[in-house]
Amino acid sequence: MEDNVKRQYLYGMHPVLEAVRAGKKFDKVLLKQGLESPQFRELLDLLQQNGIPYQFVPVEKLNHTVRGAHQGVIASIASVDYVSLEEMVDTALAVTPNPLLVILDGVSDVRNLGAIARTLECAGGNGIIVPAKGGAAINADAVKSSAGALMRIDISKVPNLRYAVYYLKQSGFSIVAATEKADVRIYDTDMTGPCAIIMGSEGKGISQSVLTLADVRASVPMSGEISSLNVSAATAVVLFEAVRQRLIKENR
């Protein structure tokens, strides 16, 4: 496992540009602040078109990251192979008539992402959908936190979570938003059919634009003085409630 989770980088304007043109997958591309050239403009356009996250950073950050002539461009090679949303759905439905997916809206901590992936894999889930921008990087740290689960389940990065939700609904999935702002409890929410569970960030929760598209808003009951669970713990509670419901249905 250690060899699988080491970070790998590709750097230099031409190598990164060619890799993006060839459809290679990246966690993130670091660009030197103030960089400007026709090749840079082409690279920036391709990054935006392909939904590849990028960040402008001081040159010191680039010099510290790699030893070599980076020319102001360093790409962090993806630790996992992403699949399209359409491929994820097709694969999941081919495996089971009742797939279980997780949509992460604004979850930015790689350790939470890894823990969620590990729980989903243990629960027999089929895949995780994350935004191309604004979410945790699926990097070596995330893979390590997941105990390798991120390399065993499908991961899809989408430019727009609203589109992803629309597509899932059209594909027959029930969309369950796990939020404390709900009157219905997860224990009263049917998750036995094809289901995608939306989990939001600990700070902001699920964005309103995505929340409005959910078929059901369900909460995890709280009795203590602390008002919320860590997002990875909350995801585990919701996922294994779905597992419990499915086992009961199978045994009837």
Q: Delimit the domains of the chain by residue range.
A: 2-77, 85-250
CB 221 within 8 A of CB 178: no
Report residue 181 CA to chain centroid gap.
23
pLDDT band at 7 (very low <50, low <70, confident <90, very high): low
In the predicted model, what is the mean pLDDT of the chain?
Answer: 91
SS (H, E, C) 172-188: CCEEEEECCCCCEEHHH
CB 17 within 8 A of CB 44: no
Overall CATH class of domain 2-77: alpha beta
- Mean pLDDT in residue range 220-248: 92
- With a cut of 80, say whether residue 78 has pLDDT above it: no
- Token pair, residue 218, equals 């369900």
SS3 per residue for 191-217: CCCCEEEEEEECCCECCHHHHCCCCEE
Cα gap 210→72, rounded to integer Å = 36
Q: Which CATH class is domain 85-250?
A: alpha beta
Q: Are 241 and 185 in contact (CB under 8 A)?
A: no
Average pLDDT over residues 168-175: 98
The residues near 109 (Cβ < 8 Å, ≥ 6 apart) are 136, 231
Each residue's pLDDT tens digit, 8-56: 788 999 889 988 888 877 888 999 999 999 999 999 999 999 889 899 9
Closest Cα to residue 236, out of 165, 186, 189? 186
What are the structure tokens assigned to 200, written together? 């939001």
Answer whether residue 208 shows pLDDT above 70: yes
What DSSP designation does 151 have? G
pLDDT above 70 as % of the chain: 96
pLDDT mean over 179-193: 94
pTM of the model: 0.76
| Assigned token pair, 211 | 């929340």
Has residue 144 got a pLDDT over 80? no
